[in-house]
Structure 1
Amino acid sequence: MNEFENLKITSVELPNNDVNETLQLHDESIFKDLLENRKDIFLSTEKIKVTVEKSAESAQSAREPRAEPKTIIEFLEQKSLLKSLNQLIEKAGIIGEENSRLLLFLITISYFNKSPLHGIVQGSSGSGKTHIISRIADLMPQEDVLRFTRITESSLYNWGEFDLFQKIIIIEDLDGLKEDALYALREFISNQVLRSSVTIKDKKGNNKSSHKIVKGQFSSLSATTKGETYEDNMNRSFIIAINESEEQTRKIIDYQNLKNAGMIDRNNEQKAISFIQRLVKNLKCYEVVNPYAMELQLPDKVKNKRRLNEMVQSIIKQITILNQYQRKQTSDGKLITEIEDLQQGIEILFESIILKIDELDGSLRQFLEKLKKRFDGREFNRFEAMEYTGFKKSQLQVYLNELVRLEYLKQKGFVNKGFTYKIGYSDDIGKVRQELKEHFKKIIDKLKSEASGS
């Protein structure tokens, strides 16, 4: 190989088919130009060597197996778990509602705990409340999910003793449940058991009384348009208001359009769903110790403070369980909550806490804020309100009547001549939100300061 070290292999691009034809059609001087402009095939034997080595490397890398995708355990061990999980939930097809979808996920996966959680999603008709709880249910192991459009008065009493044990119940229309069914559901949520005295026939055909028990350790998600109607159920459940803003509407429409245009891979969506389902199966049930529980105090303005405090603590517990592959344990195997869990829990729960403070439910509050933005200080009629808010006549009238009843709106006029409305009471919910944020920020900052000082 050394004797050819200075060897160069070049090529000449002829303007015609061959040398003879070129000579016949051109002057002899053309060959001088062609030789001067000839191209090197290889600059040197060194380049041949490099090329061969690169080819060998490429062949070797092609033979080596590619790195496996991140495993479930590796995913659960990462520091920014909730952020990554939230992004994965979006890939699964739940667009926007960043904190709400994460809260619903945490509520749902509590079904394997001794004290499962429950959520009620409240929004106007067509706002997507049923869609979001259905999509959250899709992320769970499907053998554990029970979906109901309606529940009859006595059906919950007729399940087998353990049929509803460690299950997820999805109620697509809470408004369709009658009072007896709501009562049974309420008792299930509070006591995790239904006991009833029933009449059965013995072997001889005689009637006799019997004691029937149905145990119900399940988490549940329900959808409703009438949040205030189910006050007893709401006191036992997390309230999540659907975001009905224009921004959220645009996000959903853009996603739908991208999907219909074939620009979103449905296979990736299904892969994300499958990954989350397997992730849920890898979570284990733990007892949790929160060393900061005494430091977390709710503001005095909160209604049903006792029950809400329990709910806040339960979400923090659920976040700790989700972070189980990163949390330390006590000597008897209980997970220890960290300050980060408190901070994340407060952030996720913030809107739900606001709804507990606010006299108005989520949809009604959003409706009032729209009216204040457009009509504050002047009278308006229902046609103007309908045009600005986009609500249909029936839903609009329900909201207007409710705001009049609660004295947030003043109504003038007569039935046969029509009514006009004016903002009667303009509360400052923005100020309440800011005060609440500052309240929790002080608590977290204090805990972090004490932790760093120690």
Structure 2
Amino acid sequence: MLLNNNKKERLYMKNIDNNRIYSKYNILDELDNELRKQGFAGSTNIPKIVFLTAITRMFADPVSLVVMGTSGGGKTYAIESGLQFIPSEAIESIAGMSEKALPYLTGISLKNRILYLGEASGMSDGNGRAFLRQLMTEGKLDYLTVQKTSNGMKGEKLPTVEGPISFMMATTANHIHHEDQSRMLTLNIEEDHEKIRQALRNQANGLSKSTVALDLAPWHDLHDYICENKKKIIIPYAERIVDLLPINNFKIQRDFPKVLSLIKACALVHFNKREEDNNGNIIADQSDYQEIHNLLNKPLSEGLDSSVREGVRNVVLAVTDIYKKGANIDGVSHSKLSEHMGMDRSVVGRNIHAAISQGYLTNNNPGQGREAKVAIGDRKLPEGNALPLPYEVFLPAQDHASPITW
């Protein structure tokens, strides 16, 4: 997306060297500091990922993401907390979308922009999702239709909807259509009692997005500067990551480019702290991989079945604990499990459903309107990592089992 004249003038009038965000050693740490001023409770990983994902909108293959969690769990809040650091003109925010809205879209450019849908329920099923998938995958949308004319029906091609786009949305579902989910990073809102208590404390102290206005101009100026001064990023250790990736799940083929894109985004926002090669390309360093590993290893491990999200794990462990204490052979009821865990029934129910669908639990009392009675399933809880540890990636070349050229 090209900057308009007003933004160009703003950039050239302001010396980027005087930008307080530009001068920070770790911009993601500063983003965390800013969010704490607004009372953000718990991990700030999702807003950080949202921020970096938004930066990838300028790439040929931008990253898209979906945030999953219970109703009222903070999904939308987490996304919008990250998006506030991006200028509003880079974002097309919508509440819903009809089935053929995208192919008939006129008057709005989506090219290299963020398309943000606050709730997945606002998106139509069927072809609407297929159109969105094409826009995310191909970077454009072409559509043939039939128009009624004075000479009868006539087939014609609608104007191409130009991308690429970075698509973001939230949902209360445990999963979405697998073709959609495979194209997106899947992030889960943490279910933590202390996080809820801290959020309430912050509200009691008047800390919230609505009461604490951040100075976002330096963030937006930095974003505009990066957009205007496009740089190529080199990841010299990309092949080493490949050598260490688990390849027992085909989804890694779609997840790995997202990892590389976010490493590049991290290096790009820290461009003044990174070395350049002789061609002026920014070189991503070890700290960029460390940041992305910290942010993505857990959600990617859950998506690749190398791990399981915390809520599901806790439900399975709770059922195991109850059985060890002498549970009824018929299974552990939803009510008893909620009481044992001290958690809301809706939260526990959502995790029970996910655990059953993934094979970690079985329901001994199936049927609509019946209370679930769960028992331990055949599948064991996994313990693994999708991304190699940073120290493994950056071992001296002579220590590699299979030496490669860096």
Q: TM-score range by the shorter chain?
A: 0.7 to 0.9
1:354 counterpart residue number:
301
Question: Does 2:239 align with 1:294?
Answer: yes
Q: Compute the displacement of 1:391 (Å).
A: 3.1
Question: Does 2:198 align with 1:251?
Answer: yes
2:97 counterpart residue number:
151
Please identify, of 180-189 and 417-426, the stretch whose mean Cα deviation from structure 2 is larger.
417-426
Which string of whole-angstrom CA distances, capped at 9 and with x for unpartnered residues, describes residues 209-246 of structure 1? 33221012221211112243322122111111101111
For these two proteins, the number of residue pairs brought into alignment is 373
Is the Cα contact below 8 Å between 1:72 and 1:279 reproduced in 2? Answer: no
1:129 alignment partner AA: K
- Of 268, 283, 286, the residue aligned with 2:226 is 283
1:119 counterpart residue number:
65
Q: Residues 136, 93 of structure 1: CA spacing in aligned structure 2 closer, same or farther, 3 A cutoff?
A: farther
2:361 counterpart residue number:
409
Q: Compute the displacement of 1:400 (Å).
A: 3.2
- Of 368, 374, 384, the residue aligned with 1:432 is 384
CA RMSD, aligned part only? 3.4
Q: Compute the displacement of 1:71 (Å).
A: 6.6
- Of 114, 120, 131, the residue aligned with 2:77 is 131
Secondary structure in structure 1 of the residue aligned to 2:160: strand
Q: Residues 402, 145 of structure 1: CA spacing in aligned structure 2 closer, same or farther, 3 A cutoff?
A: closer
Is the Cα contact below 8 Å between 1:287 and 1:335 reproduced in 2? Answer: yes
Q: Distance in 2 between matches of 1:169 and 1:158?
A: 16
Q: Residues 152, 162 of structure 1: CA spacing in aligned structure 2 closer, same or farther, 3 A cutoff?
A: closer
Please identify, of 290-299 and 87-96, the stretch whose mean Cα deviation from structure 2 is larger.
87-96
1:381 counterpart residue number:
333
Q: Distance in 2 between matches of 1:412 and 1:267?
A: 47
Q: Residues 229, 255 of structure 1: CA spacing in aligned structure 2 closer, same or farther, 3 A cutoff?
A: same
Which string of whole-angstrom CA distances, capped at 9 and with x for unpartnered residues, describes residues 295-340 of structure 1? 1131245551222221111111111111112223334332221122
TM-score normalized by the length of structure 1? 0.72
Q: Distance in 2 between matches of 1:206 and 1:250?
A: 65
Unaligned runs of 5+ in 1: 1-69
Is the Cα contact below 8 Å between 1:121 and 1:223 reproduced in 2? Answer: yes
Is the Cα contact below 8 Å between 2:56 and 2:262 reproduced in 1? Answer: no
1:29-44 equivalence runs, <5 A: none
Q: Residues 79, 268 of structure 1: CA spacing in aligned structure 2 closer, same or farther, 3 A cutoff?
A: farther
Which string of whole-angstrom CA distances, capped at 9 and with x for unpartnered residues, describes residues 20-69 of structure 1? xxxxxxxxxxxxxxxxxxxxxxxxxxxxxxxxxxxxxxxxxxxxxxxxxx
Q: Distance in 2 between matches of 1:217 and 1:437?
A: 26
1:12-411 equivalence runs, <5 A: 73-160=19-106, 163-177=109-123, 178-200=125-147, 208-211=154-157, 212-259=159-206, 264=207, 269-284=212-227, 285-297=230-242, 298-358=245-305, 362=309, 365-366=312-313, 368-369=315-316, 371-372=318-319, 375=322, 377=324, 378-379=326-327, 380-387=332-339, 388-392=341-345, 396-397=348-349, 399-411=351-363
- Of 417, 421, 424, the residue aligned with 2:374 is 421
Structure showing greater Rg: 1
Secondary structure in structure 1 of the residue aligned to 2:116: strand
Q: Residues 352, 403 of structure 1: CA spacing in aligned structure 2 closer, same or farther, 3 A cutoff?
A: closer
Q: Compute the displacement of 1:247 (Å).
A: 2.3
Q: Distance in 2 between matches of 1:281 and 1:381?
A: 54
1:344 alignment partner AA: E
Q: Residues 418, 234 of structure 1: CA spacing in aligned structure 2 closer, same or farther, 3 A cutoff?
A: closer
Is the Cα contact below 8 Å between 1:227 and 1:361 reproduced in 2? Answer: no
Name the % identity: 17
Q: Distance in 2 between matches of 1:375 and 1:277?
A: 52
Q: Distance in 2 between matches of 1:123 and 1:111?
A: 25
Secondary structure in structure 1 of the residue aligned to 2:102: helix
Q: Distance in 1 between matches of 2:314 and 2:121?
A: 20
Q: Compute the displacement of 1:93 (Å).
A: 4.9
TM-score normalized by the length of structure 2? 0.79
Is the Cα contact below 8 Å between 2:66 and 2:185 reproduced in 1? Answer: yes
1:420 alignment partner AA: K
Secondary structure in structure 2 of the residue aligned to 1:78: coil
Q: Compute the displacement of 1:192 (Å).
A: 1.1
Is the Cα contact below 8 Å between 1:118 and 1:237 reproduced in 2? Answer: yes
Q: Distance in 1 between matches of 2:152 and 2:60?
A: 39
Please identify, of 311-320 and 301-310, the stretch whose mean Cα deviation from structure 2 is larger.
301-310
Is the Cα contact below 8 Å between 1:411 and 1:422 reproduced in 2? Answer: yes
Unaligned runs of 5+ in 2: 1-15, 401-405
1:443 counterpart residue number:
393
Q: Distance in 2 between matches of 1:356 and 1:366?
A: 14
Higher relative contact order (CA 8 A, sep 6+): 2
